[in-house]
């Protein structure tokens, strides 16, 4: 999760909330790609999780952040005396912590996937250089394969205490989501309200396909868990009031206002005043807008309250001043590059976007939900409209490849951006997800232990 916004400008009407989102509109020539990816730090000596302050003389998460600050010169983000992240210059990305110590890069908004790849490689080189003296490595997959929830350290970030107290009230797996999952996301722009709606609908409908293609979490608690994307399954029982497939997005007349109406009634976690997080969990933004928060009577909403609230909504695709694709497990470096490529090819090329809409527009809400519910376990074998997802994947990948080719951005070797789709073509070609590949190795040459995954999926 990126840095919380601080803007105390009062905001007093729903129209202002709508206008704040609409201000994200930009011409296609200014569209950018913002990629976020998380990874699990671990001690190489015994594969244990890395606590904030370290252990036995070995540095921990704090040492990693301080090392990255020294290496990059980025501004530290501090919460109650603890460094909890770093902010790059001029909005050029950030490093932040997820609740269980997952180390996240929120990438800068970049023009091409070649720039995204260069950013990824530079980040991995930097973080590995800082981590090596502490004996720390990083593994990227959708769910923590070995550590129990109790073994996983909680980071000293004020908002996470509020969330941890609230999560068990609204689902059984919220703490697992916080502590034991990792994702890769891409943030993409829209040109108008109509463009936003078209992209939101296509990406919501196809988010289960992305979940299947990037599934990498067949392990939990040191054994097979029965799923290909345990991360996605965890989200099904985390907090259904703020997550899911947003069926209303497909209603006639969908607009910015439709999303705002939904967001107004999703329970808040907190509001931030100065450096203090106030626990207002369970109240709605509608209460705050009216100055009727039970916990803070008379307190009125600000721009930062709205921006922070939108950042604590967790649907499969999230709308802020851009659209966030949220359905994919983290994975090895080539998959971290493939994920933004997949969506850029579909959503940033009008021909591919129109074709993708033609593909999904006949699916109804019940079918979309059934697919989303089936994919965590079944992956590419799940079906919709009488077709297997693996078959649909071939068609959608071709749309993405063609869209990237038409963008015609070439690297120094003359390759266009479609080169980053290669690992997805391999998955569809062999009919086996990364999760299935890892599960087969667990049953075979790994001899029923998950420990080799820390080498196989080390970044």
The values of phi and psi at residue 401, to 5°, are -60, -45
The values of phi and psi at residue 253, to 5°, are 85, 10
Q: What is the dihedral of CA 32, 199, 285, 81, to 10 degrees?
A: -30
Q: What is the pLDDT of residue 4?
A: 63
Q: Domains, the chain, ranges and CATH?
A: 14-444 (3.30.590.20)
Q: What is the pLDDT of residue 83?
A: 97
- 301-311 pLDDT, tens per residue? 999 999 999 99
Q: Name the one residue in this structure whose structure tokens are 């729903």.
A: 14
Residues 365-374: contacts with CB under 8 Å, at least 24 apart = 365/245, 365/247, 365/250, 368/204, 368/205, 368/208, 368/245, 368/247, 369/245, 369/247, 371/208, 372/207, 372/208, 372/211, 372/244, 372/245, 372/316, 373/236, 374/208
The values of phi and psi at residue 177, to 5°, are -55, -45
CA distance 214 to 376: 11
Q: What is the pLDDT of residue 1?
A: 45
CA distance 9 to 20: 12
Tokens matching residue 127: 């973080």
pLDDT < 50 regions, the chain: 1-2
- 246-301 pLDDT, tens per residue? 999 999 999 999 999 999 999 999 999 988 999 999 999 999 999 999 999 999 99
Q: What is the pLDDT of residue 459?
A: 94
């Amino acid at each position: 999760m990126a840095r919380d916004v601080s803007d105390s400008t009062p905001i007093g009407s729903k129209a202002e909330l709508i206008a704040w989102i609409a201000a994200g509109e930009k011409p296609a020539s200014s569209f950018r790609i913002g990629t976020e990816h998380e990874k699990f730090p671990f001690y190489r000596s015994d594969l244990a999780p890395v606590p904030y302050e370290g252990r036995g003389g070995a540095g921990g998460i704090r040492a990693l952040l301080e090392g990255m600050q020294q290496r990059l010169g980025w501004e530290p983000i501090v919460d109650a005396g603890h460094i909890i992240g770093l902010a790059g210059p001029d909005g050029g990305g950030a490093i932040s912590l997820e609740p269980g110590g997952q180390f996240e890069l929120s990438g800068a908004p970049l023009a091409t996937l070649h720039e995204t790849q260069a950013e990824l490689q530079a980040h991995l080189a930097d973080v590995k250089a800082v981590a090596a003296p502490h004996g720390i490595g990083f593994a990227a997959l959708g769910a923590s394969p070995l550590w129990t929830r109790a073994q996983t350290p909680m980071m000293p970030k004020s908002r996470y205490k509020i969330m941890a107290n609230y999560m068990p009230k609204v689902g059984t797996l919220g703490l697992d989501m916080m502590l034991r999952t990792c994702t890769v996301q891409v943030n993409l722009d829209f040109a108008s309200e109509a463009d936003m709606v078209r992209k939101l609908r296509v990406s919501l409908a196809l988010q289960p396909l992305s979940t299947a293609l990037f599934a990498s979490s067949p392990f939990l608690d040191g054994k097979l868990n029965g799923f290909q994307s345990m991360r996605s399954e965890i989200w099904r029982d985390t907090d259904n009031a703020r997550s899911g497939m947003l069926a209303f997005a497909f209603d006639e007349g969908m607009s910015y206002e439709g999303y705002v109406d939904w967001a107004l009634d999703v329970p808040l976690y907190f509001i931030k005043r100065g450096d203090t997080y106030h626990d207002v969990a369970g109240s709605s933004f509608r209460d705050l807008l009216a100055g009727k928060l039970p916990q803070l009577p008379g307190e009125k909403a600000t721009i930062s309250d709205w921006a922070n609230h939108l950042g604590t909504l967790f649907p499969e695709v999230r709308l802020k001043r851009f659209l966030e694709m949220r359905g994919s497990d983290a994975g090895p470096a080539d998959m971290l590059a493939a994920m933004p490529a997949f969506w850029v090819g579909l959503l940033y090329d009008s021909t591919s976007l129109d074709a993708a809409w033609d593909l999904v527009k006949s699916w109804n809400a019940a079918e979309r939900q059934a697919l989303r519910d089936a994919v965590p376990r079944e992956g590419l074998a799940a079906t919709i409209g009488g077709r297997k997802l693996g078959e649909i994947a071939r068609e959608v990948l071709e749309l993405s490849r063609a869209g990237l080719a038409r963008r015609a951005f070439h690297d120094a070797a003359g390759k266009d951006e479609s080169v980053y789709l290669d690992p997805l073509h391999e998955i569809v070609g062999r009919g086996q997800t990364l999760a299935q590949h890892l599960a087969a190795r667990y049953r075979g040459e790994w001899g029923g232990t998950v420990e080799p995954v820390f080498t196989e999926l080390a970044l």
